Amino acid sequence: MIRVKIVLAGFGNVGKGFLQVLQEKKQFCRSRYNLDIEVHSIFRRGSALLSPRPLNIKEILEKYSSSFSFEENHLWKPGLELKDALDSIEPGVLVACTPSSIRDGEPGLSYIHCALDKGWHVVTADKGPLVVDFRCLKKKAERNHLALKFSGATAAALPTMDVALYSLAGAGISQVEGILNGTTNYILTRMKEGIDYGQSLEEARSMGIAEPDPSFDVEGWDTASKILIIANAALNTDFTLNDVKVEGITRIPPRLLSRAREKGKALKLLGRIYKKEGEFKLEVALTIVDGSRPLFGVDGTNKGITFFTDTMGAVTVTGGKSDPRGAGASLLKDIINIYREF
């Protein structure tokens, strides 16, 4: 049995989703993968739990299922620093679920650098650090023979990175197109059905799909962040967010919308990687997709991605639960895959 020690940074929906899935799958991880996964520390804003013995996840989840129970327990120590937690435990995996800025990558970027410096593997659902500094983080991980995995940051339960890096290993990827954001895809699906933008967005909000401030999604930046990370990781490029031509769904030209409403057509916000004059280009663009394309039927909050390759043809993957549970499961998946023999 391999013992895997976890430090979790971020105790929001995704962090809790991860703990929930981990709790549920604890025995399965032991019996199927020979892994005993133990959480020793959890960081949230301003305070942290840290213990030489594995934390009781079940108890923690019960106590903190509501965000209103924030300050009730004196076990959460204020002022603790992540680096000290990492120093006090035998290295395992840092699970990063803080929501970091896509401008400077913080606070996650410092956490991840620190973990990699101290011999910890990293599994992250946090896009910011990867958007800002992927190349450098990847190099550091490789140099230290550590894993840096980020399924959770690149459409989570939809296995974008697994397909790109593992299933298509050895193939040359020439083009990628993906529906990578559930909120915008939901709104576009409703708009095809005749509902206007404002009402579709309201629906998405009331269903808890859209953030209170939806601009990161609807202006295309979430999709841009994901397609950027996918490009830099799968194609060994070194693009920045400035290199992505980004379009959102807030100002759809009426002509495009009426074409989208034709039978056998759909309007999708695609994150795309393509070649122009031999160079890779990145864009997020409203695109009319017809019934012959595999992403045509990817509706509602569903996501999907197509990789076009030289030796394996086009491979498309769709689906994967778009919620904290799906995101949590994708973090657990990455942990399991770090320790698999083959």
Does 157 help bind a copy of itself (rule: CB under 8 A)?
yes
Contact flags string 66-105 toward a copy of itself, x per CB under 8 A: ----------------------------------------
Pairing state between β 304-309 and 121-124: unpaired
| DSSP tag of 172 | P
Q: Is 206 left (phi over 0), alpha (psi -120 to 50) or beta?
A: alpha
| Tokens, residue 155 | 């459409």
Name 270's Cβ contacts closer than 8 Å, sequence gap at least 6. Answer: 177, 178, 179, 284, 285, 286, 287, 289, 295
CB 248 to a copy of itself: min, Å: 26
Task: Tell me how far the alpha carbon of residue 131 is from its chain's centroid.
Answer: 12
Question: How many binding residues for a copy of itself (CB under 8 A)?
Answer: 56
Does 321 help bind a copy of itself (rule: CB under 8 A)?
yes
Which range in 44-52, 84-92, 218-226, 318-326 contacts a copy of itself by CB under 8 A?
A: 318-326
Amino acid at 310: D
Residue 330's Cβ-count burial label (10 Å; 0-12, 13-18, 19+) is buried
Residue 226: active-site member: yes
Does 162 help bind a copy of itself (rule: CB under 8 A)?
yes
Q: What is the DSSP string of 254-279?
A: HHHHHHHTSTTEEEEEEEEEEEETTE
Does 140 help bind a copy of itself (rule: CB under 8 A)?
no
CB 66 to a copy of itself: min, Å: 22
Contact pick of 59, 277, 279, 341 for a copy of itself (by CB under 8 A): 341
Using CB under 8 A, list all residues that contact a copy of itself: 21, 24-25, 28-29, 32-33, 121, 142, 145, 147, 149, 157-159, 162-163, 166-172, 236, 291-292, 294, 296-297, 306, 311-322, 325-326, 328-330, 332-333, 336-338, 340-342
Residues marked as catalytic? 226
